[in-house]
Structure 1
Amino acid sequence: MKMKKLGSSDIEVSTLCLGSMTWGTQNTAEEGHAQIDRALAAGINFIDTAEMYPVNPISAETVGRTEEIIGQWFARDQRRADVVLATKHSGEGMAHVRDGAPISSKTIPQTIEQSLKRLKTDYIDLYQFHWPNRGSYMFRKNWSFDPSSQNRAETIAHMEDALGALQDEVKRGTIRSFGLSNESAWGLTQWAAVAERTGGPRPISVQNEYSLMCRLADTDVSETCVNEEIDMLAFSPLAAGFLTGKYQNGEIPAGSRMSLNQDLGGRKTDRAFEAVAAYLNVARNHGLDPVHMALAWCETRPFMGSVIFGATTMDQLETALGAISVTLTPAVLEELDAVHKAHPMPY
């Protein structure tokens, strides 16, 4: 397992990260615990979760359940020191928590305390804001994104307010570092600049959707990541399962994400299936498992910190772990670039 320091911090993480968003709906607590055991045995030390998990569906009744499942594992095995733990504070509009209140110095302390209680731990290694208060172009909103209603002064004031509260938590020892999610290049730059000006914790990571089929980060965000020492944590590196090939030819496996979310959050388009066919052809031509190829490709990106993958079965987990030993050749990388040029932004 390859390891690296995350962003400008001294926190060392595996370049594959175990996602947990199905634990509590599609997966039982026992299945979640078994996944943690297997991932750690394979050399993964990084687990990502969020206060709003699990998903598929998200509901008021299940908010926090995934953190509770991880907390049960910590209580059972007493191996907290073996895990780099990341969780997230939901942004404005999440009606099931705090009545949808925006992130602020008022919400941060109570939200951290609630996560710590569920996780049965004294500290969180990486505390992330799940999405910006001002909104985001992620989740297919890029097609109609319009920032003209944003108020720059209010945004900067919010950043100063939030970083002050986060710095208090760093001093208390409840969090070790700060990260962002679903952020833009401008947002990352402003968070870094405000942190330097105020002395608040500097962001060390940004968790955005990134895969062979979703490469919005390749230009501005990647440049920001490299120059600001903010590492990318890629979520949905298998494009919500598309890149496994399991949805080709009209297939919708029982219990799969598409069986629960018919359009995969706006990802299901004719162009998506065409792109998948082209990527599967590259894997086939080079004798690669498409899952291994997709995960290993993400790891090659110069701005990547860790690649977050999830599994609903142990077989899926074992397949993903096979990417640990895969190195893509220059010929494969060249063909993947060619497919991207032929099938850009398929959803």
Structure 2
Amino acid sequence: MEYTHLGETGLEVSRLCLGCMNFGTDQPWMVHDREQARAVIHRALDLGITFFDTANIYSQGESEEILGEALADADRDRSELAVATKVYGPMHDGPNGQGLSRKHVLEQAEASLERLGLDYVDLYQIHRWDDETPIDETLSALDALIEAGKVRYIGASTMPAWKFMKALSRADVDNRERFVSMQCEYNLVDRHEEANVLPLCADQGIGVLPWSPLAGGFLTGKYERGEDPEDGRAASDEFMEKRFTEENWDVLEVVRDLADEKGLTPAQLSLSWLLHKDLVDAPIVGPRTIDHLEGTVGALEVELTDGEIERLEAPQTPVWNAEIGDV
């Protein structure tokens, strides 16, 4: 395993982050078996992965519980691990059930720590921008969590660059803790962030943690042009509908051809492309089985030439779409 620093911080993280959204029962395609989920987490630790990402909203806390139980069972040195979770999404009906108000942030941080079985999280992230709450209020709440020793660093996820810069500027002006990382959708068929937040991250020294690095499984090559998916996430999730465009199929064709030439899987090649991006600290991978996880780790050993990278990128021109959502 390789390790790097998160953005311009001193926090060392593995070059792959294990995303835990797939662990829970919220959707049919998730890993419902907790023993299977724990086995994947334990194997990730054995392979040197020390960075784990979840969120309170993932299966309404189940994901955090599963991760917490698995880490406790593994009995690893807490100082070596970097555990990240998020806040924003709806956790209950009625008033104050979601958002980034001081009340919701502080209450959800406590709830996440309890489910994770931890005294602190290394990275606490706002899952979305909250238009209903002043960013100063949110930053104040996050500051309080850091001062209380319950959070080490703060991060953000999926938003227009101008909003993220507003948050960074307010933190600078008011001498508050600054966001150190950005989670954004980034992969070979979803390169819109190259026209949005990635240039800002480069300018401001922000660590980049791509989510959906395999485009929800599209870049694994398991789907075929002109065929309707019969099972898996693509058969039941509107999030996958945008994948099946002619431009994306063209990208996948290049991925498959180059992977064959190099003796790789399409997934390994696609992840390697991300790992070759200087801005990227750790793609958030979401394997559901140990076999998938072990194949994913193989991407760290892949070398790509400048010509190969240009070949992979040629079918697409990045454009920012403000309507893009997240998970």
TM-score (norm 1): 0.84
Letter in 2 for 1:32: A
Residue 188 of structure 2 contacts residue 270 of structure 2 at CA under 8 Å; is this kept in 1? yes
1:45-124 correspondence to structure 2 within 5 Å: 45-54=50-59, 63-79=60-76, 80-91=78-89, 94=90, 96=92, 100-124=97-121
Identify if the C-alpha distance between structure 1 residues 262 and 220 changes in structure 2 by more than 3 Å, giving closer, same or farther.
Answer: closer
Q: Deviations over 1:160-199 (max 9, x none)?
A: 1111111111011000000000122112211111111112
SS of 1:304's equivalent in the other structure is coil
The alpha-carbon deviation at position 301 of structure 1 amounts to 1.5
1:274 corresponds to:
250
1:224 is matched with which residue? 200
Aligned partner of 2:35: which letter? E
Q: Which stretches in structure 2 are left out of the alignment for 5+ residues? A: none
Q: Which residue of 2 aligns with 1:240?
A: 216
Please state if 1:38 is matched with 2:43: yes
Aligned to 1:5: 5
Shift of 1:72: 1.1
Matched position secondary structure for 1:340 = coil
Residue 270 of structure 1: how far off its partner (Å):
4.2
State how 1:73-222 maps to structure 2 within 5 Å.
Answer: 73-79=70-76, 80-91=78-89, 94=90, 96=92, 100-134=97-131, 158-222=134-198
Deviation for aligned residue 1:345 = 8.8
Overall identity of the aligned pairs, in %: 35
Give the whole-Å Cα distance in 2 for the aligned partners of 1:13 and 1:98.
38
AA aligned opposite 1:109: L
Distance 2:74 2:240 in 1: 35
Deviates more, 1:175-184 or 1:262-271: 262-271
Partners of 2:234 and 2:301 lie apart in 1 by 29
Distance 1:69 1:124 in 2: 15
Contact 1:211-1:298 at 8 Å conserved across structures = yes
The question of whether the paired residues in 2 share the 8 Å contact of 1:238 and 1:244 is answered with yes
Give distance in 2, aligned partners of 1:18 and 1:265.
25
Does residue 294 (structure 1) correspond to residue 270 (structure 2)? The answer is yes
Q: 1:96 Cα shift? A: 4.0
Once the 2 structures are TM-superposed, how far is the Cα of residue 262 of structure 1 from its aligned partner? 6.0
SS in 1 for 2:304: coil
Change (3 A) 1:262 1:227: closer
Say whether the 8 Å CA contact 2:275–2:300 is kept in structure 1. Answer: no
Whole-angstrom distance in 2 between the partners of 1:129 and 1:283: 36
Q: Tell me, yes or no, if the aligned pair for 2:251 and 2:312 is still in contact at 8 Å.
A: no
CA distance in 2, matches of 1:190, 1:222: 15
2:18 corresponds in structure 1 to 18
Q: 324-333 or 74-83, which moves further after superposition?
A: 74-83
SS at match of 1:126: strand
CA contact (8 A) 1:116 1:123 kept: yes
* CA distance in structure 1 between the partners assigned to 2:109 and 2:259 by the alignment: 43
Tell me which of 257, 262, 272 is aligned to 2:233.
257
Partner of 1:144: none
> Aligned pair in 2 of structure 1 residues 96, 271: CA closer, same or farther (>3 Å)?
farther
Tell me which residue corresponds to 2:259. 283
In structure 2, do the counterparts of structure 1 residues 321 and 97 end up closer, same or farther at CA, with 3 Å as the change threshold? farther
Question: What amino acid maps onto 1:321 in structure 2?
Answer: V
Whole-angstrom distance in 2 between the partners of 1:87 and 1:265? 27
The alignment partner of 1:213 has SS state of coil
| 8 Å contact kept, 2:128–2:157 | yes
Asked whether the 8 Å contact 1:246–1:252 carries over to 2, the reply is no
Query: In the TM superposition, what is the alpha-carbon distance from 1:264 to its structure 2 partner?
Result: 1.3
> Is the contact made by 2:214 and 2:267 (CA closer than 8 Å) also made in structure 1?
yes
AA aligned to 1:35 is V
Give the counterpart letter for 1:16 in structure 2.
L
| Segment drifting more, 124-133 vs 29-38 | 29-38
Counterpart contact for 2:209–2:281, Cα < 8 Å: yes
**Once the 2 structures are TM-superposed, how far is the Cα of residue 268 of structure 1 from its aligned partner?**
3.1
Deviates more, 1:199-208 or 1:216-225: 216-225
